[in-house]
C-alpha cells in the first residue's frame, strides 16, 4: 500500500491565520492613528495595503 502525507491543509490554514493577524494588526494601528489624528497613517504602505507588503 502506498501512503502519502501532505501538509497542504495545515500550511493553507497557517497562511490564512497569518493573513488574518496581519489585517487585524494593520486595522488596529490604523484606528489608533485615526484617534490620534496622525496624518502619517496615510503614508504608511503596510497600513494601506497590509496584504501586499513583503512581510507576509
Considering 3-7, 20-24, 46-50, the range whose residues carry the highest mean pLDDT is 20-24
Strand (E) or helix (H) holding 54: none
Query: CA-to-CA distance for 21 and 27, rounded, in angstroms?
Result: 10
pTM here? 0.68
pLDDT of residue 55: 57
**All cell numbers assigned to 18:** 497569518
Helices (H), 1-56: 8-36, 45-48
Amino acid at each position: 500500500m502506498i501512503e502519502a502525507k501532505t501538509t497542504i491543509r495545515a500550511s493553507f490554514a497557517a497562511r490564512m491565520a497569518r493573513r488574518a493577524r496581519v489585517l487585524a494588526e494593520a486595522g488596529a494601528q490604523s484606528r489608533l492613528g485615526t484617534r490620534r489624528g496622525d496624518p502619517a497613517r496615510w503614508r504608511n504602505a503596510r497600513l494601506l495595503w497590509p496584504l501586499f507588503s513583503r512581510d507576509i
